[in-house]
């Protein structure tokens, strides 16, 4: 068990896992732009825009039409938001462990839920007003769909791999095919992650290989 700055005991490996995600996010950002740290990107803007997509996948708020709830895609939208939140929190000195301790400290002091959609709105409002990620609301969002930190970590690693796969196959140049065999790559990722049984140590390699096989078969 590790202790945060306030003395709250963090679950074993939680700080290490968060530090690993920060490092993976830095690696992804650098893959797109080696000088990303100096660009002052509007990560907060990406958060609130993703919040709208998250609400659409969760459904139930468009009273004028039928909606279909897709919890797997809700999870991936939370992961996308987490990508941008991590990007905000990566320090200039790249001290991932120190940043991870601060994130975990916030995680372990969660905000009470006001209901899933209102929690999403709180996340969006915080991004707009503070230009930051409201970490303490993320546990409530995950609990609202029956997930936890471990599920976030596993899905984050998977989506990080997919993002690298996209870049390796022409995403930035516009030549990447997002639809494979009639389904979006995010759907394939969900299926691939469900098939993975190995530990996180080789999860990245296995997910990448599985995505490559499916992409080539289209």
User: Do residues 165 and 208 make contact, with C-beta atoms less than 8 angstroms apart?
Assistant: yes
- CATH number for the domain including 106? 1.10.4010.10
pLDDT computed for residue 6 by the predictor:
45
CA atoms of 129 and 47, how far apart (whole Å): 12
User: Do residues 134 and 103 make contact, with C-beta atoms less than 8 angstroms apart?
Assistant: no
Q: Buried b / exposed e across 139-152, counting CB within 10 Å, b at 16+?
A: bbbbebeebebebb
Which residues touch 158 (CB under 8 Å, ≥6 apart)? 189, 192, 193, 203, 207
User: Which two structure tokens, joined as six digits, stand for 79?
Assistant: 């992961």
Instruction: Supply the range of the domain harboring residue 210.
Output: 2-217
Q: In a structure prediction context, what are the per-residue pLDDT tens digits for the chain, which is 218 residues long?
A: 455 444 555 665 999 999 999 999 999 999 999 999 999 999 999 999 999 999 999 999 999 999 889 999 999 999 999 999 999 999 999 999 999 999 999 999 999 999 999 999 999 999 999 999 999 999 999 999 999 999 999 999 999 999 999 999 999 899 999 999 999 999 999 999 988 865 545 888 999 999 999 999 98
User: Which two structure tokens, joined as six digits, stand for 86?
Assistant: 């991590």
pLDDT computed for residue 203 by the predictor:
85
Number of domains in the chain: 1
CA atoms of 54 and 116, how far apart (whole Å): 10
């Amino acid at each position: 068990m590790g202790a945060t700055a306030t003395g709250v005991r963090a679950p074993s490996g939680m700080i290490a896992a968060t530090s690993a995600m920060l490092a993976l996010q830095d690696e992804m950002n650098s893959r797109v732009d080696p000088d990303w740290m100096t660009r002052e990107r509007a990560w907060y803007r990406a958060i609130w825009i993703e919040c709208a997509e998250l609400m659409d996948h969760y459904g139930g708020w468009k009273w004028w039409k039928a909606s279909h709830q897709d919890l797997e895609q809700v999870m991936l939208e939370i992961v996308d938001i987490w990508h941008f939140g991590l990007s905000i929190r990566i320090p200039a000195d790249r001290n991932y462990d120190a940043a991870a301790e601060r994130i975990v400290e916030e995680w372990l002091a969660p905000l009470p839920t006001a209901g899933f959609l209102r929690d999403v709105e709180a996340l969006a409002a915080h991004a707009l007003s503070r230009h930051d990620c409201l970490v303490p609301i993320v546990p409530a969002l995950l609990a609202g769909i029956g997930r936890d930190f471990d599920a976030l970590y596993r899905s984050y690693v998977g989506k990080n791999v997919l993002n690298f796969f996209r870049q390796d196959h022409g995403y930035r140049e516009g030549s990447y095919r997002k639809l494979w065999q009639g389904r979006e790559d995010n759907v394939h990722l969900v299926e691939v992650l469900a098939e993975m049984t190995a530990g996180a140590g080789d999860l990245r390699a296995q997910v990448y290989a599985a995505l490559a096989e499916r992409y080539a078969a289209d």
